[in-house]
Amino acid sequence: MGRMATGLAPTTTETAPPAGVAAPAGALPEGVREGNENLVALSAAAGTKVAGLIARERQGDYLRIAISGGGCNGLSYKMKFVPEPRRGDILVRTAGIRVLVDSKSALYLKGTQVDYSHALIAGGFKFTNPNAKGSCSCGESFSV
């Protein structure tokens, strides 16, 4: 029987450092799990665009990708920059960008590829989501 890819790295039992002792460099905040590109992956073009927007917007160094109710097809993609992860987040490092996904959105995003196009018509961020059964022409909403 094969292993199913979940987008999450194997979990380990770790204890927090004692009070007053800094966590090791690169350690995840408490309650944040490390994921991988099986959950969500940015193309090189999307990574370059997001890096430029992070530098320009100065809202935070993490890109949060979430799913919310709404849009033409019932669910829509939301992206925003945030300064830090929240408890329960999944952190995915992809294309040089730190992407945060909450556990509920992860159910809908698993396997999603995010690309960016500079085209004048239909340009911008494009989501390719293998879980979507239908999407609208704007590309910002989908149904499962």
- Structural domains in the chain, sorted by start: 33-139 (2.60.300.12)
Statement: residue 115 has pLDDT above 70: yes
CA-nearest of 122, 138, 16 to 75 is 138
Task: Provide the pLDDT for residue 72.
Answer: 56
Each residue's pLDDT tens digit, 20-61: 333 444 678 889 999 999 999 999 999 999 999 999 999 999
